[in-house]
């Protein structure tokens, strides 16, 4: 038998109001947790971008002459692969180099226009076994004079150290975000359990007169989802505001270079908002679903 929509709306609404303090606690916890997740996602994307996709363990670049022949490139690759000091290498051909070039200089389209992909040097990115700067530059020397090599460059130690620290920090932030989401789910679980308890007499009567299990459960599950979703909508709003404020205050502004370079695309923002809304609704459904399954056993 179909469950009437107006019944579910009415019951959910009155439950939400009846339990207003707990409902607010759940909603605000979800909002804070998800705003944290959304904002840290954007910052993470921004940091990744500002370091030009630099892997924290890539420390050496070997640039080839634009005119280098395929044989020359092949022999440099072979020398790199055979070197005992090299852990791994990645080769960037002209297409990939151009892609990266366009990304790095996207603020200067005229400059990008003026460059022909053919003129860009192909390069190897090398992860050495040692992290010691002196050892790495000694390794680099071996390759400088090979035919076709334009120049060997080293990642600045500071940049890669910062990047490595930020990666670690990012890992912590992600774990903290998961912990906050877990707390939200538990709070929603508790709120719904309380709601079930508050309505135990009605539930007993419903059982008695033959209300179906889903008829009894659905308003509670919807209540949990609504709590998750309202929290998520607030979080999405906060994430959005953060995006606006960040761009207004830091991006392409005078001030600390490090912050000015941290930016992201509208697509990243949309992804963050959609993610926040989805996680909110799912967290609400899980919290209330578990509560209902446990306290409304048929």
Partner 1 sequence: MIKLEGVSKIYKGEHMALRDATVEIEKGEFVFLVGSSGSGKSTFLRLLNRSETPEKGVIHVAGKDIGSLPSYRVPYLRRNIGTIFQDFKLLPNKTVYENVAFALEAIGRPKSAIREAVPQILDLVGLSKKEGSYPNELSGGEQQRVSIARAFINRPLILLADEPTGNLDPATSVGIMKLLDRINRTGTTVVMATHDRGIVDTMRRRVIELDRGRIVRDQARGVYE
Four-CA torsion 260, 266, 272, 273, nearest 10 degrees: 130
Binding residues among 199-258 for partner 1 as defined by CB under 8 A: 201-202, 204-213, 215
Q: Are 30 and 184 contacting, i.e. CB atoms less than 8 angstroms apart?
A: yes
Whole-angstrom CA distances from 203 to 23, 228, 294 are: 20, 24, 14
Q: Are 146 and 68 contacting, i.e. CB atoms less than 8 angstroms apart?
A: no
The nearer residue to partner 1, 84 or 210, going by C-beta atoms, is 210
Q: How far is the CB of 209 from partner 1 (least distance, A)?
A: 4
Q: How far is the CB of 227 from partner 1 (least distance, A)?
A: 23
The nearer residue to partner 1, 17 or 158, going by C-beta atoms, is 17
Count of chain residues binding partner 1 (CB under 8 A):
19
Q: How far is the CB of 222 from partner 1 (least distance, A)?
A: 16
Q: Are 234 and 19 contacting, i.e. CB atoms less than 8 angstroms apart?
A: no
Binding residues among 22-41 for partner 1 as defined by CB under 8 A: none
Per rule CB under 8 A, is residue 298 in the interface with partner 1? yes
Pairing type for strands 123-128 and 60-64 reads antiparallel
- End-to-end, the C-alpha distance of the chain in Å comes to 17
Q: Are 263 and 49 contacting, i.e. CB atoms less than 8 angstroms apart?
A: yes
Per rule CB under 8 A, is residue 4 in the interface with partner 1? yes
Per rule CB under 8 A, is residue 5 in the interface with partner 1? no
Among 3, 9, 104, 244, binds partner 1 (CB under 8 A): 3
What residue ranges bind partner 1 (CB under 8 A)? 1-4, 7, 201-202, 204-213, 215, 298
């Amino acid at each position: 038998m179909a469950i009437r929509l107006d019944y579910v709306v009415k019951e959910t609404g009155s439950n939400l109001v009846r339990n207003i303090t707990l409902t607010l606690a759940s909603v605000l916890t979800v909002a804070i947790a998800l705003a944290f997740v959304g904002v840290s996602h954007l910052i993470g994307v921004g940091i990744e971008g500002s370091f030009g996709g630099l892997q924290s363990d890539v420390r050496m670049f070997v640039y080839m002459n634009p005119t280098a022949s395929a044989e020359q490139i092949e022999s440099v690759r072979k020398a790199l692969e055979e070197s005992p000091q090299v852990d791994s290498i990645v080769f960037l051909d002209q297409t990939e180099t151009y892609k990266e070039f366009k990304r790095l200089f996207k603020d200067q389209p005229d400059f990008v226009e003026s460059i022909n992909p053919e003129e860009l040097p192909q390069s190897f990115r090398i992860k050495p076994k040692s992290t010691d700067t002196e050892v790495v530059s000694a390794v680099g020397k071996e390759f400088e004079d090979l035919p076709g090599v334009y120049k060997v460059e080293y990642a600045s130690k500071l940049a890669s150290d910062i990047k490595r620290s930020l990666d670690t920090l990012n890992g912590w932030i992600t774990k903290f975000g998961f912990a906050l989401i877990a707390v939200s789910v538990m709070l929603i679980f508790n709120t719904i359990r309380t709601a079930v308890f508050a309505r135990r007499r009605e539930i007993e009567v419903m059982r008695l007169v033959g209300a179906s299990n889903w008829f009894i459960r659905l308003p509670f599950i919807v209540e949990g989802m609504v709590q998750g979703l309202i929290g998520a909508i607030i979080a999405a709003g906060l994430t959005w505001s953060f995006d606006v404020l960040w761009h207004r205050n830091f991006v392409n502004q005078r001030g600390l270079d490090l912050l000015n370079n941290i930016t992201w695309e509208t697509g990243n923002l949309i992804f963050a908002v959609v993610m926040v809304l989805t996680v909110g609704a799912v967290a609400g459904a899980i919290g209330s679903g578990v509560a209902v399954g446990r306290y409304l056993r048929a």
